[in-house]
Amino acid sequence: MVVAQPVTIKGDCPSVAVIGGGAIGLGIAWSLARAGCAVTVFDRSDAGHSASWAAGGMLAAGVETEPGEELLWQLASRSQHLWPDFRYALQADSGRDIGYRDEGTMVVALTRDDLEQLRFNYEFQRSLGIELEWLSSIEARRREPYLNTGTAGAYFCKNDHQVDNRAVVEALKRALVKAGGVLREHAEAAVEMAGGRAVGVRVGDEVLKADIVVVAAGAWSRGVEGLPEEVRPPVRPVRGQLLYLRMNPAEPLVRHVVWAPKAYIIPRRDGRLLIGATTEERGFDTKPTAGGVFSLLEGCWRAFPGIEELVLDEIVVGFRPGSRDDAPILGPTSVEGLVMATGHHRNGILLLPVTVEAISRYILKGRVLPEIEAYRPDRFRKVTGGKS
Ligand SMILES: Cc1cc2nc3c(=O)[nH]c(=O)nc-3n(C[C@H](O)[C@H](O)[C@H](O)COP(=O)(O)OP(=O)(O)OC[C@H]3O[C@@H](n4cnc5c(N)ncnc54)[C@H](O)[C@@H]3O)c2cc1C
């Protein structure tokens, strides 16, 4: 076994190895590299090309909040507030535009049944303090002229924005390397343990020492080799299919993010039109299905019949890292030197800034921010008496 040189520690910063180069791992590593830490990200494939590539990029803290997610909404809302500064810093460091759009999000009802559901969600979300505006069908169609003429009603959330998640991961990779971080792709990493603590990572027969190991391996986090059983995060892949259509950017068919009853629809500036997303429990099956594609197209077509004319460019399959309680798993574990940043499920792009802030702060200052107290990895052990 080859033992590589330990990563050098600059100043007071610990050396950090991050397992997983999705948005979460890259974001944490970029922030630590900026602070002067020696940090290396390991990705077993092309970094940024898993869930973070497949995502829709909605920053939908408001309209996505459902009953039972009141606590998660606070974290999501904090992250939503952090996004503008995060965006400027990332764009400045990377020299790349990340396609942030702030037109807001519209939720529409197409039938009377939908309208009842819409009213319920509207009242519930407003009760949390989310700023929403009720729209008549005429007003909805004024803002979205190609919306189905039979639209029954809608509401609008001005603070739910979107970002081009693919541009975000490309920018993060660039910003990380510019800040002095190291990105190693096609390098599957295992946790290296010694004396009961994490001491680095193993890639093949090479061991790289680090003071802190961060597990940010998305839907694969549970299976990372070398993790002690008691800290294996209860994360599973929640499969999602998503489609890319192409519209004329000069005359876009859709202008805002629109949530229809059976699909959400996301217009990008360059004319891409995303339709998402299925939610499936099928393990890591990467093959798209006719049923998945059909339900997305039908869901979108009911809201925007004009999509019939558009070109279908791409079918994407991705794996959301879903935890046992659907909430993220963030912070130190009972194993010294081992930190978790996983389980972001359907909100990993939205939760990126708050995750980066909280995990970097912990690594640099040793302090767990109150925002992530409820999401600590040991919460599952408390419930199950040791098994996670
Ligand atoms: C269809 C779909 C739509 C979505 N839409 C949205 C949305 O609109 N808004 C939103 O906020 N979120 C959305 N999400 C959720 C979001 O994509 C995820 O929560 C987020 O991308 C998770 O980021 P991650 O970095 O944890 O995981 P990933 O991006 O999956 O990255 C994990 C990385 O770890 C690597 N890896 C795994 N094991 C190892 C190992 N042993 N060694 C080295 N590397 C390893 C993988 O190769 C991968 O690159 C969506 C997800 C899907 C699937």
How many Å lie between the centroid of ligand 1 and the Cα of residue 150?
Answer: 37
110 domain-assigned: yes
Residue 344's pLDDT is what?
98
**Residue 387: is its pLDDT beyond 70?**
no
Look at residue 74 and tell me if it is in a domain: no
Q: How many domains does the chain have?
A: 2
Q: How confident is the model at residue 11 (pLDDT cuts 50, 70, 90)?
A: low
Q: Which CATH number covers residue 144?
A: 3.30.9.10
pLDDT at 9 > cutoff 70: no
Per-residue pLDDT averaged across 145-169, rounded? 97
Residue 86 in domain: no
Residues 192 and 137 in one domain: no
Q: Is 27 in the pocket of ligand 1 (CB under 6 A)?
A: no
Rounded mean pLDDT of 317-324?
A: 98
Closest ligand 1 atom to Cα of 319: 53
Give the DSSP letter of residue 48.
T
- Report whether residue 153 contacts ligand 1, using a CB cutoff of 6 Å: no
pLDDT at 103 over 90: yes
Look at 43 and 388; give whichever has higher pLDDT: 43
Summarize the confidence of residues 352-361 as an average pLDDT. 98
- Beta carbon of 318 within 6 Å of any ligand 1 atom: yes
What pLDDT is attached to residue 5? 33
> Which whole number is the average pLDDT over 279-296?
97
For residue 106, how many other CB atoms are within 10 A of its CB?
A: 26
Nearest protein CA to atom 53 of ligand 1, as residue: 318
Residue 155 domain-assigned?
yes
Compute, in angstroms, the gap from residue 35 CA to the centroid of ligand 1.
24
Is residue 209 within 8 A of residue 200, CB to CB? The reply is: yes
Q: What is the mean pLDDT of residues 317-329?
A: 97
Burial class (CB in 10 A: 0-12, 13-18, 19+), 139: middle
Of 321, 352, 371, the domain-final residue: 321
The answer, yes or no, to whether any atom of ligand 1 lies below 6 A from the CB of 152, is: no
Q: Is the CB of 45 under 6 A from ligand 1?
A: yes
Q: Is 321 in the pocket of ligand 1 (CB under 6 A)?
A: yes
Do 156 and 242 fall within a single domain?
Answer: yes
What's the whole-number mean pLDDT along residues 184-203? Answer: 98
Ligand 1 pocket test: pick from 31, 42, 44 the residue with the most ligand atoms within 8 Å of its Cβ: 44
Residues 138, 11 share a domain: no
Same domain flag for 337 and 347:
yes
Give the closest residue (by CA) to ligand 1 atom 52.
55
Nearest CA to ligand 1 atom 50: 55
CATH number of residue 226's parent domain: 3.50.50.60
pLDDT at 385 over 90: no
6 band by pLDDT with thresholds 50, 70 and 90: very low
Claim to verify: residue 201 and residue 343 sit in the same structural domain: yes
At residue 7, the pLDDT reads: 36
| 133 plus 262 within the same structural domain | yes
Could you tell me the pTM of the whole model? 0.95
Residue 42: CB within 6 Å of ligand 1? Answer: yes
What are the helix (H) ranges across the chain? 23-34, 51-54, 70-94, 112-127, 137-143, 165-178, 290-303, 352-365, 379-384
State the distance from the centre of ligand 1 to the C-alpha of 321, rounded, in angstroms. Answer: 7
| Per-residue confidence (pLDDT) for residue 12, from 0 to 100 | 75
Both 134 and 252 in a single domain?
yes
Based on the domain organization, do 154 and 106 belong to the same domain?
yes
Residues 8 and 123 placed together within one structural domain of the fold: no
Candidates 52, 191, 235: which one to mutate for ligand 1, based on the most atoms within 8 Å of Cβ?
52
| Residue located nearest, by CA, to atom 20 of ligand 1 | 348
Is 172 within the bounds of a domain? Answer: yes
Cα 183 to ligand 1 centroid, rounded to whole Å: 17
Quick check: CB of 174 below 6 Å from ligand 1?
no
For the cut 50, the answer to whether the pLDDT of residue 10 exceeds it is no
**Looking at the structure, do residues 125 and 7 belong to the same domain, yes or no?**
no
pLDDT at 135: 97
% the chain with pLDDT above 70: 95
Q: How far is the CA of 162 from the centre of ligand 1 (A)?
A: 17
Same domain, 170 and 219: yes
To test ligand 1's pocket by mutation, which of 18, 24, 77 has the most ligand atoms within 8 angstroms of CB? 24
Domain boundary residue, one of 321, 348, 368: 321
* Mean pLDDT, all residues of the chain: 94
Give the Å distance between the CA of 236 and the centre of ligand 1: 12
Q: Is 177 a member of any domain?
A: yes
Strand order through the sheet with 272-276: 133-135, 153-157, 105-109, 257-260, 263-267, 272-276, 235-246, 311-323
8 vs 92, residue with greater confidence: 92
Q: Is 85 within a domain? A: no
The domain of 274 spans 102-160+236-321
List pLDDT tens digits, range 127-136. Answer: 999 999 999 9
Instruction: Quote the ligand 1 centre to 52 CA distance (angstroms).
Output: 4
Domain boundary at 321, 338, 365, which?
A: 321
96 lines ligand 1 (CB under 6 A): no
Q: Which atom of ligand 1 is nearest to the CA of 242?
A: 1
Distance between Cα 117 and ligand 1 center (Å): 30
| 249-269 as b/e: b if 16+ CB within 10 A | eeeebbebbbbbbebbbbbbe
Exposure string of 343-376, with b = 16+ CB inside 10 Å and e = fewer, is bbbbbbbbbbbbbbbbbbbbbbeeebbebbeebb
Please report whether residue 35 resides in a domain: yes
Mean per-residue pLDDT, 338-347: 98
Query: Do residue 240 and residue 230 come from a single domain?
Result: no
Q: How confident is the model at residue 381 (pLDDT cuts 50, 70, 90)?
A: confident
